[in-house]
């Protein structure tokens, strides 16, 4: 996976990443319209493959999933069948658009039936994606470091938990709240201690996302464990949250966890305490 591809990348950049990695062409995909040359069999001067048309029924999580399993350098997760489907899908999209530009879309559907036209390939990719079980790695720096909070959110399960450090970040208490936020400082001396869980399922991620609520989003980071770096995600705060003093997990666990459960804990999104 690209090192600079964060979990909050927009749909456009996610689609461009999927297309560029799977089609293995040296195209410059930097505009809303993908208007560089196609393979020679599909090159027409007025042909434009719009990003809004490609993978149009895929949500952000599905696009991220496709990126994760079509990276040929990730041997553990790479799925050749889905990568092949994406190749066939994009080429069939180009074919369809060429017919449509000439006003012959009816002829396209006569030539390509419901099992091998561009729309059927999109369904095939979706079905294949549903069968693929993806595991997520998350680094918890705040309330979810607590076993009590984790079990309340995602249930009892024996996870493979490791201690790790996130560098160049710092954790602060959220104003008028019993939970923290994290900030990127770009200072090597700033380190955040936490726990890394590597085997979270899609369903567990959905529960965690719901619990974190509208004020947090997932982002990729590098976690240091025994001088080795591991890819993981953390929950980053939206700009609407205000930081106060530095937050200490041990102090919170000893003094504030009960207040957190009684006043702010909510599976549908952590509550905000109004001042």
Could you list the mean pLDDT of each consecutive 10-residue stretch along the chain, which spans 275 residues?
48 74 50 40 42 76 81 72 86 79 88 88 89 86 97 92 96 95 95 94 91 91 91 90 95 96 93 66
pLDDT at 164: 97
Contact call for residues 223 and 229 (beta carbons, < 8 A) = yes
With a CB cutoff of 8 Å and minimum separation 6, the contacts of 10 are: none
Tokens of 68: 């994760």
pLDDT at 75: 62
SS3 for the chain, per residue? Answer: CCCCCCCCCCHHHHHHHHHHHHHCCCCCCCCCEECCCCCHHHCCCCCCEECCCCCCCCCHHHHHHHHHHCCCCCCCCCCHHHHHHHHHHHHHHHHHHHHHHCCCHHHHHHHCCCCCCHHHHHHHHHHHHHHCCCCEEEEECCHHHCHHHHHHHHCCCCCCEEEEEEECEEEEEECCCCCEEEEECCCCCCEEEEEEEEEECHHHHHHHHHHHHHHEEEEEEEEEECCEEEEEEEEEECCCCCEEEECCHHHHHHHCHHHHHHHCCCCCCCCCCCC
Contact call for residues 63 and 55 (beta carbons, < 8 A) = yes
pLDDT at 84: 87
pLDDT at 83: 87
Task: Return the residue matching tokens 């909070």.
Answer: 149
Whether the model pTM is above 0.75:
no
Tokens of 269: 């999104």
How far is Cα 102 from Cα 224, in angstroms, rounded to an integer?
Answer: 56
Going from N- to C-terminal start, the domains of the chain cover 11-131, 136-263
Length of the chain: 275
- 136-263 maps to CATH 3.40.50.300: no
Q: 69 forms bridges with which residues in the sheet?
A: none
pLDDT at 74: 64
Q: Is 6 exposed, middle or buried (0-12, 13-18, 19+ CB in 10 A)?
A: middle
């Amino acid at each position: 996976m690209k090192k600079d591809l964060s979990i909050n990348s927009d749909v456009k950049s996610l689609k461009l990443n999927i297309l560029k990695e799977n089609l293995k062409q040296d195209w410059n995909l930097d505009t809303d319209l993908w208007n560089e040359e196609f393979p020679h069999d599909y090159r027409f001067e007025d042909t434009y493959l719009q990003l809004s048309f490609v993978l149009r029924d895929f949500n952000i999580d599905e696009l991220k999933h496709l990126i994760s399993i079509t990276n040929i350098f990730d041997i553990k997760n790479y799925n050749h069948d889905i990568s092949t489907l994406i190749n066939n899908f994009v080429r069939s999209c180009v074919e369809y658009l060429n017919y449509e530009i000439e006003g012959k879309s009816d002829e396209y559907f006569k030539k390509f039936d419901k099992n091998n036209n561009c729309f059927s390939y999109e369904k095939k990719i979706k079905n294949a994606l549903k069968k693929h079980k993806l595991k997520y790695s998350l680094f918890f720096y705040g309330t979810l470091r607590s076993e009590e909070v984790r079990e309340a959110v995602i249930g009892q399960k024996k996870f493979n938990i490791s201690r790790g450090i996130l560098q160049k970040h710092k954790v602060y208490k959220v104003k008028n709240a019993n939970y923290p936020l994290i900030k990127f400082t770009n200072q090597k001396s700033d380190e955040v201690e936490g726990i890394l869980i590597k085997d979270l399922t899609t369903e567990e991620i959905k529960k965690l996302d719901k619990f974190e609520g509208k004020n947090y989003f997932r982002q990729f980071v590098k976690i240091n464990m025994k001088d080795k770096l591991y890819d993981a995600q953390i929950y980053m705060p939206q700009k609407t949250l205000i930081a106060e003093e530095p937050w200490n997990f041990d102090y919170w666990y000893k003094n504030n966890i009960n207040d957190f459960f009684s006043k702010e804990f909510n599976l549908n999104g952590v509550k905000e305490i109004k001042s």
